[in-house]
């Protein structure tokens, strides 16, 4: 069933956010939600709307389903795509200097009515930068049909904190249920801290030029369902990590999980 509980999204520049934070501090208020944090283990967790850094979101309740009916966003400094997604799983604690098999032991199962789904995406996310050496990363995972798969690709050199890198799936894989292990072909030179994330896209705004945006309605979005207790967040796809940081809002509250994938 359709619900009136529609999350919306907008963006705000780093300067606007600074002014908002200063104004809130001058009034003795706390800006919410707080910044997102590393998941805390290589086993990972299934985040929810209560996870620190998630966009504020209240379920429809009464057996109803929430849908995304509007998505408004704007890029400031360069062409990019701004994506609103549901963070289904995330982990952290993998090292950029460990060349052995780094196993994911007893990962929690994904939840929600769309799980298992053929369109779940797998990404790397950096919580602390790894090194500049060029190496490959092998990721073993379970695909949408429950089959074990392995993919090897070039690991991003000299990443920045908060950056994301998509994991290319093997031929025939259209989604991911869980991760089994990761292994680097060599040391990056710096341990850092990176993790893996499974997400489901809900909508995206393509900004063809700098200082542009769009306001997508339910027809343009396809009215995607939003899972109960969804951990909503924003990330951008850009040629370079943008200096102006994008933010998502559900109603009037700002989300703090944001990343840039170059």
Q: How far apart are CA 114 and CA 71, in angstroms?
A: 21
Give the Cβ contact number of residue 208 at 10 Å: 11
> Over 60: is that where the pLDDT of 4 sits?
no
pTM over 0.85: no
Residue with tokens 């343009």: 220
Of the candidate ranges 29-33, 41-45, 153-157, 167-171, the one whose mean pLDDT is the lowest:
29-33
- Per-residue pLDDT tens over the stretch 175-198: 999 999 999 999 999 999 999 999
CB neighbour list of residue 19: distance below 8 Å, 6 or more residues apart = none
- Higher confidence at residue 242 or residue 41? 41
pLDDT(19) > 50: no
Torsion angles phi and psi, residue 158, rounded to 5: 50, 50
Residue 254's beta-bridge partner residues?
249
C-alpha 12: how far from chain center: 18
Quote the pLDDT of residue 21: 37
Q: Identify the helix (H) or strand (E) that includes residue 17.
A: helix 14-26
CB burial string 183-200: b at 16+ within 10 A, e below: bbeebbeebbbbbbbbbb
* Gap between the Cα atoms of 31 and 186, Å rounded: 42
CA distances from 108 to 91, 171, 173, 179, 196 (A): 11, 25, 21, 10, 13
Token digits for 104? 């994911």
What average pLDDT does range 120-144 have in this prediction? 97
pLDDT tens, 72-119? 998 888 899 999 999 999 999 999 999 999 999 999 998 876 566 688
Domains in the chain: boundaries: 40-261
User: Residue 57 in 3-state DSSP?
Assistant: coil
164 band by pLDDT with thresholds 50, 70 and 90: very high
The pLDDT of residue 15 is: 40
Query: Of 165, 149, 147, whose CA–CA distance to 157 is shortest?
Result: 165
User: Could you identify the residue written with the tokens 């995330």?
Assistant: 90
| Rounded distance between C-alpha atoms, residue 134 and residue 78, angstroms | 27
Would you give the DSSP letter of residue 143? E
Average pLDDT over residues 133-155: 96
Tokens of 18: 């600074």
């Amino acid at each position: 069933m359709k619900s009136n509980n529609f999350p919306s999204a907008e963006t705000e520049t780093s300067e606007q956010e600074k002014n908002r934070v200063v104004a809130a501090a001058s009034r003795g208020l706390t800006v919410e939600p707080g910044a997102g944090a590393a998941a805390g283990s290589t086993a990972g967790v299934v985040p929810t709307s209560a996870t620190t850094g998630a966009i504020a979101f209240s379920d429809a309740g009464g057996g109803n389903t929430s849908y995304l009916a509007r998505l408004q966003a704007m890029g400031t400094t360069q062409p990019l795509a701004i994506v609103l997604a549901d963070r289904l799983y995330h982990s952290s604690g993998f090292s950029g200097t460990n060349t052995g098999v780094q196993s994911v032991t007893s990962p929690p199962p994904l939840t929600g009515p769309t799980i298992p789904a053929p369109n779940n995406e797998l990404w790397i996310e950096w919580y602390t930068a790894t090194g500049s050496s060029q190496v490959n990363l092998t990721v073993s995972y379970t695909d949408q049909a429950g089959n074990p798969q392995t993919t090897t690709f070039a690991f991003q050199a000299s990443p920045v904190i908060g950056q994301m890198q998509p994991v290319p799936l093997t031929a025939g894989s259209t989604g991911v249920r869980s991760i089994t292990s990761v292994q680097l072909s060599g040391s990056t030179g710096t341990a850092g801290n990176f993790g893996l994330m499974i997400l489901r896209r809900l909508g995206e705004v393509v900004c063809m030029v700098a200082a542009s945006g769009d306001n997508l309605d339910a027809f343009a979005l396809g009215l995607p369902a939003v899972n109960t207790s969804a951990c909503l967040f924003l990330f951008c796809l850009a040629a370079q990590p943008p200096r102006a940081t994008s933010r998502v809002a559900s109603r009037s509250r700002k989300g703090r999980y944001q990343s840039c994938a170059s």
